[in-house]
């Protein structure tokens, strides 16, 4: 069965710390991978996506993610977080039909 799992449900860190959120997927065939962010009171926004090519994908706001096919992983990283990065982060996968399956989400709290 297709699934997306996120390792951490809740992460608390200080400003300037580095962030890495784990995501693993279980999909047969072609899979497209996404990271979405939901800031408090706002709608989901796309951070970055991977379809093919360079496995290191750079997104908005200084985020990047690395696709490691052998590990079925697509981890999200940011070298130095800011207070404004406090949000919920969702990893998602889609097959060629575009139907997204989301992970459970990770609540990230950045303290000043």
Partner 1 sequence: GAVVSQHPSRVICKSGTSVKIECRSLDFQATTMFWYRQFPKKSLMLMATSNEGSKATYEQGVEKDKFLINHASLTLSTLTVTSAHPEDSSFYICSVHTGTGSTDTQYFGPGTRLTVL
The verdict on 52 binding partner 1 (CB under 8 A) reads yes
According to CB under 8 A, which one of 12, 16, 46, 68 is a site residue for partner 1?
46
Residues that bind partner 1 (rule: CB under 8 A) add up to a total of 20
Please identify, among the stretches 11-19, 43-51, 61-69, 74-82, the one whose residues bind partner 1 according to the rule CB under 8 A: 43-51
Report the distance separating Cα 94 and Cα 50, nearest Å.
Answer: 10
The verdict on 32 binding partner 1 (CB under 8 A) reads yes
SS3 69: helix
The verdict on 70 binding partner 1 (CB under 8 A) reads no
Name the nearest CA neighbour of 22 among 7, 9, 36: 7
Report the distance separating Cα 29 and Cα 34, nearest Å.
Answer: 16
66: Cα separation from own chain's centroid = 10
At 73, list the tokens: 């992983």
Report the distance separating Cα 79 and Cα 15, nearest Å.
Answer: 11
The verdict on 49 binding partner 1 (CB under 8 A) reads yes
The verdict on 86 binding partner 1 (CB under 8 A) reads no
In the complex, the residues that contact partner 1 under the rule CB under 8 A are: 32, 36, 42-46, 49, 51-52, 90, 94, 98-105
């Amino acid at each position: 069965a297709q699934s997306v799992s996120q390792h951490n449900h809740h992460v608390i860190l200080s400003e300037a710390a580095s962030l890495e959120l784990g995501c693993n997927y279980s999909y047969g065939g072609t899979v497209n991978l996404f990271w979405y962010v939901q800031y408090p009171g706002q709608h989901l926004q796309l951070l970055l996506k991977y379809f093919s090519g360079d496995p290191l994908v750079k997104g908005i706001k200084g985020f990047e993610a690395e696709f490691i096919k052998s590990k079925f992983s697509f981890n999200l990283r940011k070298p130095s977080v800011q207070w404004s990065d406090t949000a919920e982060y969702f990893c998602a996968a889609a097959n060629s039909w575009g139907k997204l399956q989301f992970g459970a989400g990770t609540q990230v709290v950045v303290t000043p």
